[in-house]
Amino acid sequence: MERFCVAGDFVEACPYGSGHINDTYAVTMDQAGRTVRYILQRINHRVFPDPPRLMENIHRICRELGAGLRRDGEERSSRRALTVVCTREGAPVHQDDQGGFWRVYYFIEGALGYDVVENHRQAFEAARAFGEFQRLLADLPGPRLHETIPGFHDTPRRLERFRQVFAEAPRPRREAVRVEAEFFLSRHDEASRLVSLQRQGLLPERVTHNDTKLNNVLIDQETHQAVCVIDLDTVMPGLVPYDFGDLVRTSTTRAVEDERDLEKVRFDREFFLALARGYLSSAGAFLTPLEREHLVFGGFLMTYEVGVRFLTDYLEGNVYFKTAYDEHNLVRARTQIALASQIEAVRGELEEELAQIDRA
């Protein structure tokens, strides 16, 4: 912490949160008898090839969000947008002697990220916050943001990669995932739908978050309102249905992402409707008709895509997502298939219900 512009005496650093990618610590400092916390993160350099450029994005985004919130008549407060704490040299990231990249944010107190949705209010709030996030960044001045992970939501490319890894996997592993592989491979037409609409110029590129899982928005423990969107590593040019889609993936079932009992992975329509209301309340004003039409499909496709990625990682030996046991990614892939199939089965009805909310 001595590398960063942080005052006081170091008290402790504890591993924090349940993200799958970065190493996150809550650091407590004693500042003249007052304890103040910070979030210290080692950026996963394997996942994000260029941390300095990534931090350039984040710095711009945090500044814009801070200013955007002020524009809306609210006081600048470090709780509504992440605040990067720079190094003593004024850089947003520190590189250590082993090549690790570190950054520090103010800790947002009194708010939590939830791994599993508990009630409609949380679903509504999370979706409202991500819609608001997109709205505030719609006119981000300056050049196009860096693509921190190129092709992040290029679903057909993800599927192609899976196809290769599956073909090259040792026979017993391949046999063990045959049913799951069949689910993904048989839906290759769906996999390309959003990116081909984008290539045809029909779906607009926007500044999107790209990792809108429920635990990437902090919810105030007293007011139960969403306070702050976090995990900005993947904020870059993208498509809106993927952002709404990851909310659907993570906030329409009470089952954990790695639930082994697939009976428990039940799609909850009421949670879905709360998401639709929350999202349209903040993003409704700028979405195009085609974007609206593809929100439900985004829910299916994002669940499908993350499932493909989990299964690929399982076959590759768990090199990307943090895992606690060998089959962890396989278990996760199965929950995604269970949820994606349920969304697929009622997609038409959900589209009708979402359109009704939109018209109201």
19 or 238: whose CB is closer to Mg ion? 19
- For the chain, the first-to-last Cα distance in angstroms comes to 51
Position of minimal CB gap to ligand GN1: 20
- Gyration radius of the chain over CA positions: 20
Distance CA 87, CA 273 (A): 44
Nearest CA to 229 out of 132, 336, 90, 334 is that of 132
Query: Does the footprint of ligand ADP cover residue 159 (CB under 6 A)?
Result: no
Query: Does the footprint of ligand ADP cover residue 25 (CB under 6 A)?
Result: no
Query: Does the footprint of ligand ADP cover residue 95 (CB under 6 A)?
Result: no
Query: Does the footprint of ligand ADP cover residue 82 (CB under 6 A)?
Result: yes
Q: Using CB under 6 A as the criterion, what x/- string covers residues 107-126 for binding ligand ADP?
A: xx----x-------------
111 or 287: whose CB is closer to ligand ADP? 111
Distance CA 139, CA 129 (A): 17
318-210-264-255 Cα dihedral, nearest 10 degrees: 90
3 or 157: whose CB is closer to ligand GN1? 157
Strand partners, 7: none
253 or 277: whose CB is closer to ligand GN1? 253
Query: Does the footprint of ligand ADP cover residue 273 (CB under 6 A)?
Result: no
234 binds, among ligand ADP, ligand GN1, Mg ion, none (CB under 5 to 8 A by kind): ligand GN1
Nearest approach in angstroms of CB 155 to ligand ADP is: 21
17 or 204: whose CB is closer to ligand ADP? 17
Query: Does the footprint of ligand ADP cover residue 6 (CB under 6 A)?
Result: no
Position of minimal CB gap to ligand ADP: 19
Nearest approach in angstroms of CB 262 to ligand ADP is: 25
Query: Does the footprint of Mg ion cover residue 216 (CB under 5 A)?
Result: yes
Nearest approach in angstroms of CB 321 to ligand ADP is: 10
113 binds, among ligand ADP, Mg ion, ligand GN1, none (CB under 5 to 8 A by kind): ligand ADP
Q: Are 77 and 67 in contact (CB under 8 A)?
A: no
**Which structure tokens are listed for 302?**
């994002």
Q: Using CB under 6 A as the criterion, what x/- string covers residues 230-259 for binding ligand ADP?
A: xx-x--------------------------
Which one of the spans 65-73, 106-114, 158-166, 257-265 is the region binding ligand ADP (CB under 6 A)?
106-114
Residues 231, 246, 258, 313: which binds Mg ion (CB under 5 A)?
231
Query: Does the footprint of ligand ADP cover residue 24 (CB under 6 A)?
Result: yes
Q: Are 259 and 335 in contact (CB under 8 A)?
A: yes
105 binds, among ligand GN1, ligand ADP, Mg ion, none (CB under 5 to 8 A by kind): ligand ADP
7 or 167: whose CB is closer to ligand ADP? 7
Nearest approach in angstroms of CB 103 to ligand ADP is: 10
Distance CA 313, CA 277 (A): 34
Query: Does the footprint of Mg ion cover residue 44 (CB under 5 A)?
Result: no
Q: Are 323 and 174 in contact (CB under 8 A)?
A: no
Summarize as ranges the residues that interact with Mg ion (CB under 5 A). 19, 216, 231
Please report, as ranges, the residues that interact with ligand ADP according to CB under 6 A. Answer: 16-17, 19-22, 24, 39, 82, 105, 107-108, 113, 215-216, 230-231, 233
